[in-house]
Each structure stands twice: as structure tokens, then as C-alpha cells.
Structure 1
Amino acid sequence: MTTRGWTRPARPADTVVQVTAPLLTRRLRPAELYIVDAALAVAVGGLLGPYAALESPLHGGVREPLWVSVLVGFALGLPLAVRRRWPITVAAVISSVATVALITGVIPNYAAAAPGLAVGLSFYTVAVSTTTRRSLPSAAGCLALVSVALALTGGDLWSRTGAVVYGAVMIAPAWAIGWLVRERRALATRQGEHLVRQAAAEERLRVTRELHDVVAHTLSLIVVKAAVANHVAETDPREAGAALRVIEETGRNALTDVRRVLGALREDAPYAPAPGLDELPALARQAAIGGVDVRLDVRREEPSGAVPESVGLTAYRIVQEAVTNVVKHAGPAACRATVTVTPCEVRVEVTDDGRRPVLNNGKGHGLIGMRERVTLHGGEFHAGPRSGGGYTVTATLPYRGAA
């Protein structure tokens, strides 16, 4: 008896590229780096050991036993396994072994370039992982050590000056490359930290502007209504109650706006749409509560959906801040807010016929915040008293490049 059942489809075999690609595109962990260094140390020791054993000396040079050659080769290569942990110590050990090997003839003078691989790797690590103040003297001391060995064994191959040049060729390029890599990494780190600080400062500034606009507007209305309630509390309790209800509603709205602003800082917070051009009529009704008659005129030459959300929010905040200033400094007064939406920009103009004191030469936090918002969009902003009395705030917010 046989049954038919669902068979799991065979998973295609991973290719070498699929397996190795993640390893080559991410930063290796410390344990993986030590494994790589250990493999490199064995490889270098395995190359130098047979090389020293097979290289024949000239003119009656030293013929050492095979085990000595292998031991010298691995003594040059194996310290590389811990080059990241003790870079200067490893460089000094490798340079000392190379010096002894050259002086004793285990490595013939004409094969002096053979230890150069291990010496170069060690001094690259020294320059990358230590400061210049420490790595440069270490490199100079080991260069002197290797140069002495080369000078003593040079014979007819090179002079004393040539020995120093030969040693410098073994050490200096590797150290210079390591130093350049260290400087590039330090520069990248500084640039990354600068970008993080800049992003944090911009976010703080954005939150500050939002909180200022929300709190200043609602508190101005609350203060006005609280003053009304206090004034008529005994003579007209009904009007005082109405003022308190307005205070309650305004406070609830402010609390919602503050929660929305602060909630945007959390990654898991649900998205809440920011106020825009469609919320301007509600803003005008709130201003009327504070004793300011706002005549709102929104002229649309372009559908509201075509205006970016950030531009709509900026236009809303400019009208809100301008109306709040009227409530605080010029109320009761008549105020006219005109918002014109064109295919390329949004123009905002808020005027009032009240009288207000000009404080700080137009450098209040509200005016600064409005100017910063407009500047972020590459627009123009102007605020100042009118010749016939009152105040005018104008802003132009481009949002689409010219075709």
C-alpha cells in the first residue's frame, strides 16, 4: 500500500559565491581576524622554512641542518598570528630573528629579501594599530637593527649605505601604507561623528521649533481665556464657565500635538499625519476664541495633494505663529491670512491692523523659527511693521523646480 503525500521541494545547493560573498562584504569579527592571522602566520612560516632550507650558500657559507632552517622560517612567520594584540613586540621579534638569521648565515645575504614579507606585515600592523609617536621610533629602531645585520653580511653585494637603503626598502613602504590607512580610518571616524552630531542638532532644532509653535499658540489662547474667566468669574459665571471649557479643549489639543511631536522620536510610534493646509480653517477658529478675527483666504491653483507634506506643515506653522503673535501682542484685532498655492510655490501673507511693540528688533524665537523653516525650503521670509499700523508676515515656499 502506498500513499501520496506532499514532498518538500529540494533546496538548491549554495554556490561558493553565495557562501563567500557575505564574508567579503562585512567587517570581520575579532575572532575571525585572529583566525585569518593564524592562517597567514602558518602560510608565511611554511614558505620561509623550505626557502631557507633549499637556498644554497655561496663561497663556503653555513650549511645548517634542515630543522634549523624550518625553525627559523616559522620563527619569522608564526609571530604574525598575534600581530594585532602585540604589534610592536611582534615587529621587534621578527626583526631580531631576521637579524640573527642573516648574521649567522642561516639566510644567505643574497636572500635577505626573503624575511621582508614577515617584516613588512609586522610594521604595517604597527603603523595601523598604534600612534605615530610609538610606531615611528619602533620602525626606526628595527630598521637600525636590520641594517646592522645587512651591513655585516653584505660583502661584495652592497655597501653600508646600501645596507641602510635595503633595510629601509623592507620596512618604510609597509609602515607608510599602514600610516596612511590609519589616517584614512581616523578621518572617516571623525566625519561619521560629525554627521551624527549634525543630525542630532538638526533633530533637536526641529523638535524645538515644533514644541515652540504648539505650546506658544495654545498657551496664548489659554492665558487669554483664563484672564477672561478671572475677570467675569463673579459677575457672569456662565461666561466664565465657557472660558474654562475653551481652556480645557485647547489644553487637550495641545497635549495631543505635543504627544505627536514627541512620539515622532520613537521608532515604534505609529505615523500621525502632520497638520497642513487643510487644517488652516480650524486654526482660524481657534484664533477667534482668543479675540482675533482671522479672515482666511486659501487660493489653490494646484491640487492640495500636490503640495509636499513638509511644505504644507511649514505654511501651517507660519500662519499659526503669526496669528499667535497677533493674539499675544495685538489682540483684539482683525487679521487676514492669505495662502496661495501655485504649481511651483506656496505664498503666505498674514497681516493685522493691531498695535504691537517691536521687541528685540524682530529676533524673537517665533520669528527665528519661521525664518529657519523657510530657509530649509530655500524660500524667502519677511516680517515687520506696516506703515499704516499693524504687522505683516510674508513667506514664499518653493516646492517644485522650474520645468
Structure 2
Amino acid sequence: MDEQRAQTGDGPAGNPGGPSRRAPWARGRQGEMPAGSRSPWGRWNSGEPPRWLTGPQGRATGRLPWASTILLGVVVMAGSSFAAHGQLDEKAPLDLFARLLLFAAVAVLLFRHRHPVVAVFGASAAATVYLGAGYPYGPVFLAVAVGCFSAVVAGHRRAAWSAVAMVWVGHLVVAHWLYRWLPPDDDAAPPWGQELGVAAWVVAIVAAAEFVRVRREQWAAQRAERAVAERRRADEERLRMARELHDVLAHSISVINVQAGVGLALLDTDPEQARTALTTIKDASKEALGEVRQVLDTLRTPGDAPRAPAPGLDRLPELVEQAATAGLTVTVTTDGARGAVPPGADLAAFRIVQEALTNVVRHSGSRTAQVRVGYRTGRITLRIDDEGPATGTDAGGSGNGLAGMRERAAALGGTIEAGARPDGGFRVRAELPLPAGGAAHREETP
């Protein structure tokens, strides 16, 4: 018997993508910097803008949030006009400069998805100038909140905190120290208790933004986990189907290969025996087509029941008959009473015996094989022996037989041992676990 060996090798070196184009600012006075070097310009050396200037990956080419920004602008403009009526005696009236500042604070938020740091600092700067000019409190803080929220969600937490802190410190300095030199003329310093409300507002904005950021990260992690799980299930299903098809086709094609050789050899000297060989080929190919169709039925609409039961150890007599048509005499011995055997373990045991007999047909000079099946408490044991010697021929085999058997056993938590015997033959021994109470108890082992 043989196993296919995996070959590994290093791929070609070089840059498959070809020379990269750098932005003009990525070239210094002495030309381009060597690959792998660092500089104060960061990612600009590779022609890419720094991360602090951009939003999350995949959002830079998104559509601008026109609708929400226009709605926010209407709320800020209308709300500021309403708030100004209640602060006529305390703050400067809204004029053209105030309207321009409010417009700037909102307009810069149009780029909050592409450039969240620019947006939050722009809105904060406009709000700071607005408050320093003595204009009334109002929804201008809403523009700062939206900018901070977008920056934190995009991952630029320090930039968002710094921008909001700039507004708070600016308000603090203007309200308690610079108010004498700023409009309105008769303005007075507000009580220090008012700063507690401003600080609470700042903390509430940052806390809400951080909460949404954490939730979005959790959702992204869950989506990634689901995607990985789906890919893993798809890979496992492909591996299972490949293993099934290999076991079905390898056995049947080996029989067909042997019988085709017999038919060609006896076509002229013994036409009747050649006819028998052709009949065997027809039956084996029909059986293979039926089993392949059963395997491929799993690709039908989920939920459909299989059209035929999966093969199990109860079909060993059929397997013995097929081996006999290939010139192999198989003796089957059973120890213990067959109890409740799950379909998965039953199928795995059948395929292991099938593959072992197929390898005898392909690679052994012996025309006899012994199969011993043992039903134990909580396990099934299998032993397949042939007298050998190995012929070294392949007969069209892929070399994946032993690997497939090990995969089947490992999937159920079992073990496979395969190797040459001291007398020159070959032995395959498998042990498959069963649920508690399965099979029957016998002390002897095969």
C-alpha cells in the first residue's frame, strides 16, 4: 500500500504586482525611500494618506451623507434662532458671522465618513469661535456631538476626545477670563456650577459614542466568527464528499480495472470468460453510479431526505461478492453481537473495510484477505489482513486511501493502524468509538 506524499516548495520570488506608483509627496530630495524604512510621514511614503485622515476601511469611497447633514443643518439653524430669543439680554444677537459659523460647523460634517478627524476638529473649531464671539448657547453643540460620535465610531478616539476637550477648555477660558474683552460688552462671568453641566454633556457624548463603538466592534467580531464558521463547515463538507467519492470510485474502478485486464487477456482464447468479465464491469459500474448519485444527493435542497440509506457493515456480503469478481477471496469473521450502531460509525466502518480491500486488489500479490469485525462495549474494532507480498503496482490509485481512512476514524474519535506484518503481509486495524450501550461486550480482541 502507498500513501500520497505532499510536496512543498517555495514560490517564485519577486514582486507580482510590479512597480508601485508613489504620490509626489512620497519622494524626498534624494529620491524614494528604500522599502521597509520609516519616516515621520508614515503611510504617505507609500502613496497612501495617513489613517488619522481617513475613516474606516471601505468607507472612503462611500456616498456623502447629504440627507442627514442637511437635516442637521436645518435643526441647528432653526434651533439656534429659537434659543437666541431666550438669551437676548445675555448673549450677542445672531448675525451673518454667527450664521456662517453655524453653517461651517455643520458643513464640515458632510465629510465625517471619509475624514472623521477633520470633521470633528472642524466642527469643534467653529463651535469654539461661535462661543468665544458671545453668541447664544444652542444646537451648535449638536454638531460637535455628531462629529465626536463619527470619529469615535471610526476608531479615532483620541482625536474625538481632544476635539471635545478643545471646546470645553475654550468655553471655560472665554466664560471666566476672556469675557471682559469679548462681546457682548455687559457680559459677566457665569457661575462655576455651570461648568459641571458642560462637563456632564461632554462625558455623555463620549460615553454614548464609546458604547456604539464597542457594540459595532462586537457585531463585526460576530460577523467574522460566523463567516469563519461557515467557511469551516463548507470545507468540512467538501472534504467529506471528496472522501466519499474517493472510497466509492476507488473500489469500483479497481474492480473494473482488474476485470478489464482479464477480459482483454481472454478475449480471443476464452470468449465466455471474457463475457463474464465484461458482465462484472457492467455490474460494478452500475453500483458505482448508484453510490455516486447517492453522495451527490446531499447537494440537493437542504432538508430533503436521502433516497437510499447509507451503506454500513450489514452490506459486507455485497462487498465480498464484488471483491470475488476481482479475483479476491475474502473471509469475514464477526465477534460479538451487533447492537445499536450510529449511521456515521456504520458508514465509516464500511468505507474502511472497502478501502482496505481495494488496496489489497491494487497493491498485494495475495488473492485472499481476512476481515474481522468485533462489536465491543462502546466501540467497533476492525482488522483486515492479506498475506502479501506487495506488488508495487498502482492500478490507477490516487494514493489517498490510508489518509481517507485516518480522517474517517479521527472524525469519530477513533484510531487507525496500518503497516506491514512481519511475515510480509499487510494489516489495517481500526477502532471506532460508539455511544454508551452500543454493540455488545466481548473480552477477546481481534
TM-score of the two chains, using structure 2 as the length reference: 0.64
Alignment correspondent of 1:296: 332
1:319 Cα deviation (Å)?
0.4
Change in Cα spacing, 1:170 to 1:54, as seen in structure 2 (3 Å) is farther
**1:315, CA displacement in angstroms?**
0.4
Percent identity between the two aligned chains: 34
Which residue in 1 is equivalent to 2:91?
62
1:127 aligns with 2:149: no
* Mapping 1:1-16, distance limit 5 Å: none
| 1:275 equivalenced with 2:311 (yes/no) | yes
Distance 1:399 1:192 in 2: 30
Deviations 1:321-346 (A, max 9, x none): 01101111124421111222334222
Match of 1:369 in 2: 404
Read off the aligned partner of 2:166 and give its amino acid letter.
A
- Among residues 387, 406, 410, which one is paired with 1:353 in the alignment? 387
Tell me what 1:213 maps to: 247
| Structure having greater relative contact order (Cα 8 Å, sep ≥ 6) | 2
- Please state how far the C-alpha of 1:97 moved relative to its aligned partner: 5.6
- Distance in 1, matches of 2:274 and 2:219, equals 67
State the partner residue of 1:95.
Answer: 124
| Equivalent residue for 1:307, pick from 337, 341, 349 | 341
C-alpha deviations, 1:168-219, integer Å up to 9, x for none? Answer: 7466545544443343333323322322222222122112211111111111
Conserved 8 A contact 1:41-1:81: no
Asked whether the equivalents of residues 48 and 77 of structure 1 are also in contact (C-alpha less than 8 Å), the reply is no
Q: Residues of 2 paired with 1:393 and 1:92: CA distance?
A: 72
Equivalent pair of 1:351/1:392 in contact (CA under 8 Å): yes
Task: Letter of the 2:247 partner, please give it.
Answer: D
Equivalent position amino acid for 1:224 in 2 = V
Are the aligned partners of 1:295 and 1:337 in contact in 2 as well (CA < 8 Å)? yes
CA distance in structure 2 between the aligned counterparts of 1:321 and 1:340, rounded to whole angstroms? 18
Higher helix fraction (1 or 2): 1
- Alpha-carbon distance change, 71 to 201 in structure 1, aligned in 2, over 3 angstroms: same
Select which of 392, 395, 399 maps to 2:430: 395
SS where residue 384 of structure 2 aligns?
strand
CA contact 2:371–2:385 (8 Å) conserved in 1: yes
Unmatched segments (≥5 aa) in structure 2:
1-64, 178-188, 439-446
CA distance, structure 1, for counterparts of residue 370 and residue 401 of structure 2: 19
RMSD after superposition: 4.5
Query: Alpha carbons of 1:300 and 1:43: their partners in 2 closer, same or farther (altered >3 Å)?
Result: farther
Separation of aligned partners in 2, 1:236 and 1:91: 93
- The reply on whether 1:227 has 2:261 as its aligned counterpart is yes
Deviations 1:283-329 (A, max 9, x none): 111011111111123445243xx211111100000000011011111
Indicate yes or no: 2:420 matched with 1:385: yes
After superposition, the C-alpha distances for 1:265-294 in whole angstroms (9 at most, x for unaligned) are 232665132111222111111011111111
Matches within 5 A, 1:99-114: 99-107=128-136
Relative to structure 1, the CA distance from residue 78 to residue 298 in structure 2 (aligned partners, 3 Å threshold; closer, same or farther) is farther
What is the number of residues matched between the two proteins?
350
CA contact (8 A) 2:120 2:163 kept: no
Amino acid at match of 2:318: A
Distance across 2 between alignment mates of 1:354 and 1:183: 61
Deviations 1:57-116 (A, max 9, x none): 8xx631648xxx9999999999999977996687467535643542243445xx9xx866
Residue in 1 that maps onto 2:30: none
Change (3 A) 1:300 1:48: farther
Alignment of 1:285 with 2:285, yes or no, is no
- Alpha carbons of structure 1 residues 51 and 207: separation in structure 2 relative to 1, 3 Å: same
1:80·1:90 contact (CA, 8 Å) conserved in 2? Answer: yes
- Whether the 8 Å contact between 2:245 and 2:295 is mirrored in structure 1 is yes
**Partner of residue 245, structure 1:** 279
Aligned-partner Cα distance in 2 for 1:146–1:136: 15
Q: Deviations over 1:346-399 (max 9, x none)?
A: 22111122212689xxx9421111111111111122111222331111111112
Q: Which residue of 2 aligns with 1:259?
A: 293
1:183 aligns with 2:217: yes
Distance 1:295 1:138, change over 3 A: same
AA matched with 1:355: P
Q: CA deviation at 1:154?
A: 3.9
C-alpha distance in 1, partners of 2:402/2:162? 62
1:317 maps onto 2:351 in alignment: yes
